[in-house]
Structure 1
Amino acid sequence: MDTPWTDLDRPPLRALPLRRALVGDGLWSRLDLVATTGSTNADLLADADAPDGAVLVADHQAAGRGRLGRVWSAPPRAGLAISVLLRPRRSVADWSLLPLVTGLAVVDAMGALGVSARLKWPNDVLVEGPDRPGKVCGILAEVREERVVLGAGINVSLRTDELPVDTATSLVLAGARSHDRDTVLRRYLRALRTRVDAWAAGESPLADYRALSATIGQDVRAHLPDGSALEALAVDVDDDGRLVVEGSDGARTSLSAADVVHLRRR
């Protein structure tokens, strides 16, 4: 039977030290850790009384979701499923930038662990090498009335044979200085607090996002929600966080939702 103690390389998260490090003092209001759940995003969204700054982390997420309803999964304690609930005071029109803010926080945390990462619009964090290129994190932001939940799934210690797709990677495969999940969680939540506070104070994340974008400058194929596809050159991310693409005729289109495939590297 799989228990927290059968795989000594993958211990459970340590609740008390994490709460001491991350709750209060301008950081987060609440930190709950669970051994397993269906979806940390769904759990926080269902908690109507959850305060601003509530954090939920699962050792194992049995029914994690990515964009467009995709399943996101990892072996128990091989990754981090993290959801943060915010009740922002900024206009709802500005909330569209929060997935970008989240991506920047993941890149910040990766950098502190010695891993260079970039951002694939709209919700992927990519390691570009040299040890193991691929997707190391996916982001899913969901809004319910006056609150938004920012979900991040970070692959921490997955081995090659455990990766869900060939284009994925993990921190251990990318040569991170640490793949201790407590350390990764602390790095990420501190980086996210800094990035969210800057956004709440009116700062734009767009300059940083553009500088770290792996999509701008790429020829892309955008699969749109209506089932159609558009091939064009990605030229920018606009002030609302939409991807701006330019067709062969020079016409520009802003995409708010699409599944983007990079057709070539810069």
Structure 2
Amino acid sequence: MTDILSPERIAGFCRPAAQQVAVKIVDETGSTNADLLAALPRLTTPTLLIARTQTAGRGRAGRSWLSEAGKSLTFSLAWKFNAPVQSLIGLPLAVGVAIAEALAMFNVSVRLKWPNDVLYQGRKLAGVLIESASAGHVPHEASWAVIGIGINMTVNEQLAAQIGRPVASIPWLAELDQDMLMATLLNALSDALVQFEHEGLGAFTQRWNALHAYTGQAVVILDRGQVLQEGVAVGVDGIGRFVLDTASGRTAIMAGDVSLRVKEN
């Protein structure tokens, strides 16, 4: 991995929507999401926080996100929306599309797994954790989203064993100019967040479904390890629910503490 990761170089590669973002880099922290959530009362502009090493990374539903310095990208983006928190439903899907479209610029073809995973060759390449908070004196007028993203690049056997589930590894990503890679991701995310605020999830559902990893496959939806639903995966609807065809008809699942798995024969 290049040792640069320079705020100035990243900003130099940014398009207009991303140029408003303050870029900060720290050598080590517990969680970039936790840091930005704590800083929200003081933020006056969208802020990207990148950690070279993250020691207490968090995933969805309280899970840990394990990573090693120089072998993954771990960062969070705090973004203010002129809309209430409730309007951010479906934002993880838009973020997944943005990540996929950014990686495609480096000829990395990924697929999306509902509600917030990015897969490469069937294994998890990236995860997204979004935490939101009301902003301003009148809570319903505006909101902040802190978008945490972890992207695996080089995963050795020891780290894979710690993670305990299949994870993707694309070692050559770590050899790219990391400032260029980070700016490409920031450009895609910034453009997507502007579009999401103005057009909503509807601008992303067709793009997400085109990238869906499991269209037409038999899947199960698990809630705390118990089967909640099973059927054939269709995709997502206009409000971000996962749609599947079951024995009793078509149904839609709203994201919560649920997991999607391919059904074993």
Determine if the TM-score, normalized by the shorter chain, exceeds 0.5: yes
Unaligned ranges ≥5, structure 2: 135-142
- Tell whether 2:93 aligns with 1:96: no
Which residue is equivalent to 1:241? 240
Amino acid aligned to 1:135: K
- Tell whether 2:254 aligns with 1:262: no
Over the matched positions of the two proteins, sequence identity in percent amounts to 29
* C-alpha distance in 2 between matches for 1:101 and 1:215: 18
SS at match of 2:8: helix
TM-score norm. by structure 1 comes to: 0.84
Shift of 1:78: 1.3
Which residue is equivalent to 2:129? 140
Alignment partner of 2:6 out of 14, 27, 34 = 14
Unaligned ranges ≥5, structure 1: 1-8
Alignment partner of 1:26 out of 17, 28, 35 = 17
Q: Which moved more, 1:161-170 or 1:196-205?
A: 161-170
Which residue is equivalent to 2:178? 181
* C-alpha distance in 2 between matches for 1:253 and 1:241: 9
Instruction: Give yes or no for contact 1:79–1:155 (8 Å, CA) kept in 2.
Output: yes
Amino acid aligned to 2:17: G
Instruction: Give yes or no for contact 1:103–1:119 (8 Å, CA) kept in 2.
Output: yes
* C-alpha distance in 1 between matches for 2:16 and 2:103: 24
* C-alpha distance in 2 between matches for 1:186 and 1:107: 14
The structure where helix makes up a greater share of residues is 2
RMSD (Å) for aligned C-alpha atoms = 2.5
Shift of 1:61: 0.8
Amino acid aligned to 1:236: G
- Tell whether 2:39 aligns with 1:42: no
Greater RCO, 1 or 2 (C-alpha within 8 Å, sep 6+) = 2
- Tell whether 2:112 aligns with 1:119: yes
SS at match of 2:128: strand
Where do 4+ consecutive residues of structure 1 move more than 4 Å? 175-178, 225-228
Shift of 1:237: 0.8
Which residue is equivalent to 1:220? 219
Amino acid aligned to 2:262: H
Which residue is equivalent to 1:73? 66
Instruction: Give yes or no for contact 2:50–2:76 (8 Å, CA) kept in 1.
Output: yes
* C-alpha distance in 2 between matches for 1:181 and 1:88: 28
Q: Deviations over 1:19-57 (max 9, x none)?
A: 4434x8431331110111111111111112223421111
Which residue is equivalent to 2:167? 168
Aligned length: 250
Shift of 1:10: 5.8
* C-alpha distance in 2 between matches for 1:254 and 1:90: 24
* C-alpha distance in 2 between matches for 1:239 and 1:190: 25
Amino acid aligned to 2:195: A
Shift of 1:76: 1.1
TM-score norm. by structure 2 comes to: 0.84
The structure where strand makes up a greater share of residues is 2
